[in-house]
Amino acid sequence: MTSTPVTTTSIAVLGLGPMGAALTRALASGGHRLTAWNRTARTLTEHGLDGGGDVALVGNPEAAVAGAEVVVVCVRDHTASRELVAAVAPLLGDAVLVNVSTGSPEEAAESARQAAALGVRYVTGAVMVPTPMVGTDECLVLYAGAPNDVATATAALAPLGGVADDVGTDHAVPPVLDLAMLDIYFAGMYAFLHATALAGRYGVDPARFLPYAEGVTDTLRGSLPGLSASMTDRTYRTGEARLDMCLAFLEHIVTASAESGVPSALPALIRDASARALRQHPADTDWDVVAEELLSS
């Protein structure tokens, strides 16, 4: 579901890959006027942008930003986005440029410094959802930059839907939150695949295992507030999950993996971290104490 903006804004989008096209579709169906450019020239139909709305394709980035109030840059990486920002900077005037290209926190901070040196009103964005969720209530986009610039960006980009979070002035924060969430997502997906393969070695097919996996995922979700509190107070004395007991579980997972020929690198990594913690802390310390080496390294 998209929300109609109070006023129509001229928005330029540079980069019409899957994400740039999704942003353009949502912004156009929200009532904005879009001028879009892609390095490789394609038609509106080829970009999936023929579904209505006011979208004009142009042949170069300079033509796209002419007259735009907000410019969205959505390309593969920061090497590509910096080149574009440098090219269009002299034409931007008072426009706010929102760079949603993914990069590391350091890359995002460096791109913001370069944009500031060019006199650009610059916002770092991070789209935290896949393309089908753009323009729906499930969308989540993070923004960092000067408060006025973020306010201009979030007002214009309201048709992206869902939640627009202003995370402050530090341009490294949107990408670090993006990557931190992906850290959980990929580790979780790999753990699920590993567990499904392990169960499969004993004739449990993936569909039969799935409800159990979903159940333990709910348990994991319930554990996060406690883990979060542990990383804040760093006392590890609730007595809920002892280090020695958890290490025994992890040894069993590694052994079962080895017995059944499923690669054991992931559980072994957690087992080894737990064993290191047990060499340094009493056995009845909460297992959460494995966080200490992550916090101090």
Residues lying near ligand NAP in the complex (CB under 6 A) are found at: 15-20, 38-40, 74-76, 80, 100-102, 127, 130-131
Do 158 and 164 touch, CB atoms closer than 8 A? yes
From the list 111, 87, 107, the residue with the least C-alpha distance to 98 is: 111
Helix, coil or strand: residue 35: strand
Do 149 and 96 touch, CB atoms closer than 8 A? yes
Do 95 and 35 touch, CB atoms closer than 8 A? no
Nearer to ligand NAP, 92 or 127 (CB): 127
The answer for residues whose C-beta is within 8 angstroms of residue 290's C-beta and 6 or more apart is 243, 270, 273, 274, 276, 277
Q: Rounded to whole angstroms, how far apart are CA atoms 72 and 203?
A: 50
CB of 39 to ligand NAP, least distance (A): 3
What sign results for the dihedral spanned by CA atoms 66, 72, 77, 78?
A: positive
CB of 22 to ligand NAP, least distance (A): 8
CB of 114 to ligand NAP, least distance (A): 16
CB of 109 to ligand NAP, least distance (A): 16
CB of 101 to ligand NAP, least distance (A): 4
Nearer to ligand NAP, 101 or 230 (CB): 101
Nearer to ligand NAP, 79 or 169 (CB): 79
N residues, the chain: 297
Q: Rounded to whole angstroms, how far apart are CA atoms 260 and 195?
A: 12
Nearer to ligand NAP, 101 or 124 (CB): 101
Helix, coil or strand: residue 34: strand
CB of 19 to ligand NAP, least distance (A): 4
Nearer to ligand NAP, 39 or 281 (CB): 39
Nearer to ligand NAP, 38 or 152 (CB): 38
The answer for residues whose C-beta is within 8 angstroms of residue 239's C-beta and 6 or more apart is 284, 286
Q: Residue 54's beta-bridge partner residues?
A: 33
Nearer to ligand NAP, 69 or 178 (CB): 178
